Structure 1
């Protein structure tokens, strides 16, 4: 693909897997009451698949849009102090409509290989968010909207008919996704809940 760098734009597909976790800021209630002894977020795996559109801005900078479906599971372990000491593990499953816009900073092409870095922002909508759920077995409620930033690195391997690009990135949400429901004791122990995700992707670009 010797003339690929002359293309103004091109498209591709993306698939991969992720590890996600909730980041917690505790409330003053967590420190002053003995309802919970410990609340510990745990990393859990998921997978992602999507499309890619790439626009060449300069010889070394591209603009990318990657609408993606991201399936995640974030686990939480908490230990009760009252009425008795006990430990529970519960999961929060999410299906994100993930809409990132990224700047891609490319190195010179070295025969059929290139290195690149990326940075950008994202908008996520959780199709499985339970903020309005009335189920009696909910332990925590999550709002659907998140915004944040992403950065990472990747490699391009040029083949006769496509480019294979493995990539790793860190995605950090800025929004507080905690939906406050006074009937859920765990809500009172948490002041802020955000999402962090490590994403390993494989792009096939044309």
Structure 2
């Protein structure tokens, strides 16, 4: 529900900006040569919300994931290919926290709960497809692949869930898709966007015990998330 509210808020805000542009009689173009540069640079910050997608081996109670909002911040390098296509590299830092609840594991609360605090160094390489500039805004869609290194994965930790330690892989590959709007302001370009991020690889490091209640029934565990970014160029 919260994801939907964020999306609705963004669409309403973006729609109001577009409407304002169309209804403005004096259409003075801000920095009309901005997109003619071969290279442009910027930075971004935003919020994220991560989940897990589980595939199970047997029909047992699902693992419940409590999602929390995190933050993302990074830099942007943009290479113009033509009027409608750009190549973007957006290295950044992503932080998020998730909590897993194992509803079918006996014991006290500490046995059923695993808290995962993840800090990623994130490297997206994306293609940006834009429409023709309309007054001082330009809608776009973006897609591509990314790699992240999880600084909090504990992949090499010899302790596992028998000692209360849930482990994930250090390295993960993703595909990303999203959309946004470039708004050309008098002194810079501001680009709000929404993006979905989906892991391509299994991120679970399994327990030493092949019958572990925490990992034995998981076939694949993959992150998926939604990013709301605000980019300044």
State the TM-score, normalized to the length of structure 1.
Answer: 0.89
Kindly report which structure 2 residues correspond to 1:166-205, keeping only aligned pairs within 5 A, or say none.
166-183=192-209, 184-205=212-233
Q: How does 1:40-119 map to 2 (within 5 A)?
A: 40-82=64-106, 88-119=112-143
Matches within 5 A, 1:126-145: 126-135=150-159, 136-138=163-165, 140-145=166-171
Residue 44 (structure 1) shift: 1.9
Aligned to 2:175: 149
Matches of 1:105 and 1:39, distance apart in 2: 38
Q: Give the aligned length.
A: 198
Aligned-residue offset at 1:81: 4.9
d(CA) in 2 for partners of 1:53, 1:204: 11
**For structure 1, which segment, 185-194 or 78-87, has the greater mean C-alpha deviation from structure 2 after superposition?**
78-87
CA–CA distance in 1 between the matches of 2:74 and 2:120?
A: 11
Mark the runs of 5 or more structure 1 residues left unpaired by the alignment. Answer: 32-36
Q: How big is the shift at 1:185?
A: 2.8
Query: TM-score by structure 2 length?
Result: 0.79
Q: Specify the SS of the correspondent of 2:214.
A: helix
Cα deviation, residue 179, structure 1 = 0.6
Q: In structure 2, how many angstroms separate the alpha carbons of the residues matched to 1:84 and 1:3?
A: 63
State whether residues 105 and 213 of structure 2, in contact with CA within 8 Å, keep that contact through their aligned partners in structure 1: no
Partner of 1:9: 39
Alpha-carbon distance in structure 1 between the residues aligned to 2:188 and 2:105: 57
1:86/1:127 CA distance change after superposition, 3 Å: closer
Structure with the largest fraction of strand: 1
- 1:56 touches 1:62 (CA, 8 Å); kept in 2? yes
Unaligned runs of 5+ in 2: 1-30
Q: Structure 1 61/91 Cα, relative in aligned 2: closer, same or farther at 3 Å?
A: same
Bigger share in helix:
2
SS of the residue aligned with 2:216? helix
Q: CA deviation at 1:38?
A: 4.0
Q: 1:16 to 1:87 in 2, by over 3 A?
A: same
